[in-house]
Structure 1
Amino acid sequence: MDLDGGNRRVFNRLGGPSAATQPDSSKNQKVCYHWRAGKCSRYPCPFLHRELPHPSGPTSAAANGPGAPKRFADDSGFSGPAPRRGPNFNNNHNNTWGRMGANKVVRKTEKVCNYWVQGNCNYGDRCKFLHSWSLGEGFTLLNHLDGHQKVVTGIALPAGMDKLYTGSKDETVRAWDTNTGQCMGVLNLGGEVGCMISEGPWLFVGIPNVVKAWNTQTNQELSLSGPVGQVYTMVVGNDLLFAGTQDGTILVWKFNAGTNSFEPAASLKGHTLAVVSLVVGANRLYSGSMDHSIKAWSLETLQCLQTLTEHTNVVMSLLCWEQFLLSCSLDQTIKVWVATENGNLEVTYTHNEEHGLLSLQGMHDSESKPVLLCACNDNSVRLYDLPSFSEKGKIFGKQEIRAIEVGPGGLFFTGDGTGFRVWKWGEPVPKP
C-alpha cells in the first residue's frame, strides 16, 4: 500500500505547494461540492474548502469575460481540511453566522435546536434551528407533562371525568388532573401497554395476554382473558369491544348489563400476522395488520367482506372520516378509500410522505375546517388541511410520537418518549 503517495495526493488536493507542478493539478484542485452547500462532513476532505483564486496573466481576462461564471474568494484564508463541528454548526465559511444584520431574518430549518432543548443556546433569535416544538399557525402548546420512562402508547379521556389517562411501554398507567396538570396516581401493570381507549365511564388497557377494564365511576376492575401476546389496538362498535392481538386474531366481547361484566362473543381470524389497527365506521369494522393488508368486517354478521392489499408494509393506523376510510403505513403512504357502487372499497387518492407513518387522527380547527393529524417515524406530526392535503403545520417530539388523542373544545394531545403535550386550536396564549 502506497501510504506516502496517497498522502501526497491528498496534500496536493488541499492546495499544497507541489500541486501546481503536477500534470493533473487542474483535476485535483476541485472545490468540495458539499462544502459549498454548507454540509461537508468528511474529515479530512480530499477537496478544497475554499474558492479557487482568480487566474493571473493573459488568461485572466478571458476567464472573467462576458459569460464566465463569477467566483467569490473565501475571506477566511482556510485551505485545509474542515474541523469537526457540533451538530448545529454549518461548515460553510461563506455563511452569515456572526455577521447577521439586526434587520435580517434568519431562515429556520425544520429541526429543533438541541441546545435550546437543553436550555443553553446562545444564539437566541439568530439561531437557524427551531426554538419551538411546532411550526405553523392556528394552534398552540398549552402544557408538556412528563413522567413516563418509555414511549407513551395510549391517551384516553373517559366521559364525565376531570382526569386524563396515559399508558406507556414502561408498564404503567398514569392519571392526570386536567385542571392542574398534576399526576394523580401511577398504576403498575406488569406488562407493556400496547394501547388504551375509553368508552363511556370504562377505561380499557391492552397488555400482553389480557385486556384490563376499569369503571372510572365505580372503580370496578375486570380482566378480560383470551388474547395471545400483546394487545396492540382496541375499538368499540355496535355495543361490542374489539381487540387486535399479536397472533393476528381479533377478539370480541359484549357487555352484559345484568352481570355488569364483559362476555366473549367471537374470535375473528383471517390476518396472518399481528393486528395493529382497528376502526369502526359505516356499520363495518376495519382492521390493519403487519401482514400489509386491511380487512373489512360486517358489524352485524362479523364476517369478512373484503381484503385490501394495496399497502406494501405494516398498516399502522386507520381512520373513518365521513364516507372515506383513511389508512397509513410504514410504506410511507396515506391512502384514501371510497366505496364503489357494489360496496367495495377502492383507493381514490394516495398521499406520499418521506417517512413511515405511525398514527392518524382527525379533528376540526378553530374555523371548523377538517384537519388530519399524522404521526411519522421521524419524531414529528404533520397537520394537513382536508381534502387538499396542503400542509398546515408540524409538531416535533424528542422521540417517536405514537399516540394522538382529540379532546373537547379544540384540545388535542400528542404522546412521545416520556410524556405528552397538550395543544389547542385558537389564538396563542400570551406568555406571563
Structure 2
Amino acid sequence: MDLDGGGNRRVYNRPGTDSSKNQKVCFHWRAGKCTRLPCPFLHSESSHPSGSAATDNGSGAPKRYSDDYGFSGQPPRRGSNFQNNHHHNSWGRMGANKVVRKTEKVCNYWVRGNCSYGDKCKFLHSWSFGEGFSMLNHLDGHQKLVSGIVLPVGMDKLFTVSKDETLRAWDTNSGQCTGVINLGGEVGCMISEGPWLFVGLPNAVKVWNTQTNQDLTLSGPAGQVHAMVVFNDLLFAGTQDGILVWKFNAVTNAFEPVASLKGHTRPVVSLIVGANRLYSGSMDHSIKVWSLETLQCIQTLTEHNDVVMSLLCWDQFLLSCSLDKTIKVWVATENGNLEVTYTHNEENGVLNLRGMPDLESKPVLLCACNCNYVRLFDLPSFSERGKIFANQEIKAIEVGPGGLFFTGDGTGFKVWKWAEPVATS
C-alpha cells in the first residue's frame, strides 16, 4: 500500500452432570420469564456452553465463533481472560447503577476555550460523562464523517476511512498521520483480517496486503458497499442488491467471486458472523440468517420496523440495532430459530454496536446513536456506564488492546481508555 505522506443453537444438555435428573436448561428461565416453582428444568448453565464451540482454527485446537471476549465481529486480543459466565436471565433488570449527572450537553463556550463559568458551569466541560474511562487523544484530519476505523493485530498503525473519500494511516505511538490515500469514492466501510485491509467503495472493494503492499480491486458490487465481514477464507460484502461472496485462493494470492446471496429487497448495510451463521441487516428492516455451510437463508427476522444498522454476536446472543430506536437481543429457541428475548428502547436511532470488556473483564456494550453521542452499557443489565459526545455524528467505533477504544466523528477520531479499577482495602 503506497501512501502519500501528509446465535448459535441453544444447548440444553450439560456434560458431567447427573444423568438421572432432567438436564435441560429452562427456556423461560433463560428469557427471564420462568414462573414455575419448583421448575423441572435447570435454572443454571455451565460457564462455557458446549454449543458455543466452533470449528478448528487451523492449529488443531477448537475455536469459538465468538472471540475471547464473548463478542464476535472483532479480532481477538492477546491476554484476554474474559469468561462467558454472565447472568443471561437479567436483561435490563439491574438499573441501580445508572449514571447520575447534572447535564447531558457539552458547553459550547468550553469547546471554543472561553467559558467564564469554570467549574460552576451547568454544562459539561468534557467530551464524556461517566466513571471508569477517559479520553487520551483527539486526532483531526478528515473533512467528513469517519466511516471506519481498524487497528490490525500486530501492527503499530491504525487506519481510518471517511466520507471525504480518503484513507489515512496513523502511527499508534506518536499519534501522527503518516499517509493519505485518495480513493476516488465515498467509503462505506472498512475491515481488516490478518495482513489484509478491505475498503468498501461504490461498485468495488479495494484490498491491500499491509505486509507485501499488494493492491487489488474486487469488482462486481452494484452501488455502495456498506458492510463487510470475513469468515475463514470467505469475504462477504453487503451491497445495494444483496451480498457478494469472494473466496481467497492461496495459490494465486487473489480473491475469486463464488456466490451472490439474494433475498433482501433493499441494500444490505450490516453483516456479522457467529455460530456458523452469517447474519445480514438491511434497509428493508429485516435480518436474514444464512448457513455458512450451504450459503442458504434459513430464517428471516422482521421485528424491526426501520433500517437494521448494526449487528453483534455476544456469547449465544445476537444483538441488533435500528433506526427504529431499539436494540433487540435475540436467542435461539428449542427448534434453533431466533426470537427476541429483550428490547432496549433509545430516544434516537442507533447506528452501530460494538462490545468489549472493561479492565475488570465485565462486558460493556458501546452504542453509537444518531444524535452525536455513544452510550456505554453494562451487559446484560443495560445499566448505563456513561456517554461520549461529539459535535457531529459518531458512527465508527473500534476496539483495541489494553482497554483502548476509538470513536470516529465528522472530523477525526478520539482515543479512549478504560481506567484501572481502584483497589479497596
TM-score range, shorter chain: 0.7 to 0.9
Counterparts of residues 242-391 of structure 1 (less than 5 Å): 242-247=236-241, 249-391=242-384
Kindly provide the CA deviation profile for residues 222-252 of structure 1, in whole angstroms up to 9, marking residues without a partner as x: 00000000000000113210000123x1000
Aligned position for 1:199: 193
Structure 1's consecutive aligned runs of 4 or more residues displaced over 6 angstroms after TM superposition are: none
What is the CA–CA distance in structure 2 between the aligned matches of 1:159 and 1:261, rounded to whole Å?
22
- Counterpart of 1:418 (choices 387, 394, 411) is 411
- Structure 1 position 108, deviation (Å): 2.9
Q: Under a length normalisation based on structure 2, what TM-score does the superposition of the two structures give?
A: 0.75
Give the residue type in structure 1 aligned to 2:133. F
- Structure 1 position 294, deviation (Å): 0.1
Give the residue type in structure 2 aligned to 1:310. E
Any conservation in 2 of the 1:338–1:345 contact (CA below 8 Å)? yes
- Structure 1 position 418, deviation (Å): 0.5
Give the residue type in structure 2 aligned to 1:162. D
SS in 2 for 1:181: coil
- Structure 1 position 155, deviation (Å): 0.4
- Structure 1 position 158, deviation (Å): 1.8
- Structure 1 position 359, deviation (Å): 0.2
SS in 1 for 2:110: helix
What is the CA–CA distance in structure 2 between the aligned matches of 1:350 and 1:238, rounded to whole Å?
32
Stretches of structure 2 that go unaligned for 5 or more consecutive residues are: 1-100
SS in 2 for 1:115: helix
Kindly provide the CA deviation profile for residues 120-164 of structure 1, in whole angstroms up to 9, marking residues without a partner as x: 111110111000000101111011100000000000112221000
Aligned position for 1:394: 387
Any conservation in 2 of the 1:338–1:346 contact (CA below 8 Å)? yes
Aligned position for 1:136: 130
Aligned position for 1:238: 232
Kindly provide the CA deviation profile for residues 6-53 of structure 1, in whole angstroms up to 9, marking residues without a partner as x: xxxxxxxxxxxxxxxxxxxxxxxxxxxxxxxxxxxxxxxxxxxxxxxx
What is the CA–CA distance in structure 2 between the aligned matches of 1:192 and 1:143, rounded to whole Å?
26
What is the CA–CA distance in structure 1 between the aligned matches of 2:116 and 2:133, rounded to whole Å?
27
Say yes or no: does 1:229 pair with 2:223: yes
What is the CA–CA distance in structure 1 between the aligned matches of 2:205 and 2:110, rounded to whole Å?
41
SS in 1 for 2:226: strand
- Counterpart of 1:114 (choices 103, 108, 113) is 108
Aligned position for 1:161: 155
What is the CA–CA distance in structure 2 between the aligned matches of 1:121 and 1:230, rounded to whole Å?
43
Any conservation in 2 of the 1:138–1:366 contact (CA below 8 Å)? no
- Structure 1 position 427, deviation (Å): 4.2
Distance 1:427 1:124, change over 3 A: farther
Aligned residues: 322
Any conservation in 2 of the 1:245–1:275 contact (CA below 8 Å)? yes
What is the CA–CA distance in structure 2 between the aligned matches of 1:359 and 1:122, rounded to whole Å?
36
What is the CA–CA distance in structure 1 between the aligned matches of 2:114 and 2:267, rounded to whole Å?
44
What is the CA–CA distance in structure 1 between the aligned matches of 2:391 and 2:224, rounded to whole Å?
25
Say yes or no: does 1:127 pair with 2:124: no
Kindly provide the CA deviation profile for residues 77-116 of structure 1, in whole angstroms up to 9, marking residues without a partner as x: xxxxxxxxxxxxxxxxxxxxxxxxxxxxxx7311000111
How many percent of aligned residue pairs carry the same amino acid?
83
Give the residue type in structure 1 aligned to 2:246. W
Give the residue type in structure 2 aligned to 1:288. G
Higher relative contact order (CA 8 A, sep 6+): 2
Aligned position for 1:62: none
Aligned position for 1:188: 182
- Structure 1 position 426, deviation (Å): 1.2
What is the CA–CA distance in structure 2 between the aligned matches of 1:240 and 1:140, rounded to whole Å?
37
What is the CA–CA distance in structure 1 between the aligned matches of 2:134 and 2:210, rounded to whole Å?
30
Kindly provide the CA deviation profile for residues 174-229 of structure 1, in whole angstroms up to 9, marking residues without a partner as x: 00000000000000000011000000000000010000000000000000000000
What is the CA–CA distance in structure 1 between the aligned matches of 2:297 and 2:203, rounded to whole Å?
24
Any conservation in 2 of the 1:160–1:201 contact (CA below 8 Å)? no
Q: CA RMSD in A?
A: 1.2
Aligned position for 2:399: 406
What is the CA–CA distance in structure 2 between the aligned matches of 1:125 and 1:266, rounded to whole Å?
59
What is the CA–CA distance in structure 2 between the aligned matches of 1:404 and 1:301, rounded to whole Å?
31
